[in-house]
Amino acid sequence: MRRSRVGRHRVGAVVAVCVSLAALSACGSESSPLSAIEKSTPTAPVTGSPTSGLDETVRNEDLDVGELARRAKQSAANIKTVHVVADIVSDGKGTKLDLKVDRGSEDFQGTIEQNGVRLEVRRVGDDMYVRGDEQAYRSLVGTVDGELAAKLLAGKWLKGDANSEKLRGVRSITTVADPGAALKDFPEDGVKLPVETINNRRMIPLTGPPGRDDGKVYIEAQGGKPYPVLIVSKGSKSSGSISYGDFDVPVKVTVPAAADVIEIPDRSTTSSTPKPGSTA
């Protein structure tokens, strides 16, 4: 009898955590390069020639703003894998991401942290895995249920359908995997600013019209593909940065060991499952 009761408690704890996970979001909400990413749909890599006809002998810093933005979008569309690091504050809510993403399969692995709650996340095909420590589960669920979740689930991977509503917040983090998203609707009257040196790399900042957009998209200044490598926004409601690197470095996502995985119950199971703390 005791084993059955513990099993029901664990299922209830998983459900409570999933409800909290569904509320997670990834980016900003204001009109800025960050919100442009949030609202965009990740662009699948373009098949065929990796250069797509780009003349890589052209000096990127010699191009006018329109041509540079066009070439940067074209270069970004051909990126197959990317390492994304983001630190964003939106409506007072902080989000940090560190993800390695395969843009073709949308498999990824890394970490997501929001308001001090840090989770490991992995996606392999239709399977999503999420793992937190005791503090993460306690913070996500709160009160007595959070204590139960912390004890029963800490260190375990929760596995669910990547396309389910329960994991929509985690799934949405892949929207930041498109370096060209902030340039999708780049205005014709955008501005190319003087070259800056950041972390010993020469970059070309692009921004919207003066007085309308404080955000910047930084493009590689060296010759070759003009990759977007950094986005910085300083809006009143959302601010932060997203950096991109390790372009086309293979991403291999490791499937957690079966002994460390707990399946997220489906809708039919959860509807009849007692809440944590109830008796059998």
Domain boundaries, the chain: 2-266
DSSP 8-state assignment for residue 88: E
As a whole number of angstroms, the distance between CA 111 and CA 258 comes to 20
The pLDDT, as a whole number, for residue 114 is 82
Mean pLDDT of 112-137: 87
Query: If you classify domain 2-266 with CATH, what class do you get?
Result: mainly beta
Mean pLDDT of 11-34: 50
Residues 6+ apart with CB under 8 A from 67: none
Q: Facing residues of 198 across strands?
A: 201
Residue among 206, 234, 207 nearest 219 (CA): 206
Of the pLDDT bands very low, low, confident and very high (cuts 50, 70, 90), residue 213 is low
Average pLDDT for the chain: 75
The string over 1-16, giving b where at least 16 C-beta atoms fall within 10 Å of a residue's C-beta and e elsewhere, is eeeeeeebbbbbbbbb
The pLDDT, as a whole number, for residue 251 is 94
The predicted model scores a pTM of 0.77
Residue with tokens 């890599």: 45
Q: Are 16 and 279 in contact (CB under 8 A)?
A: no
Largest CA distance in the chain: 75
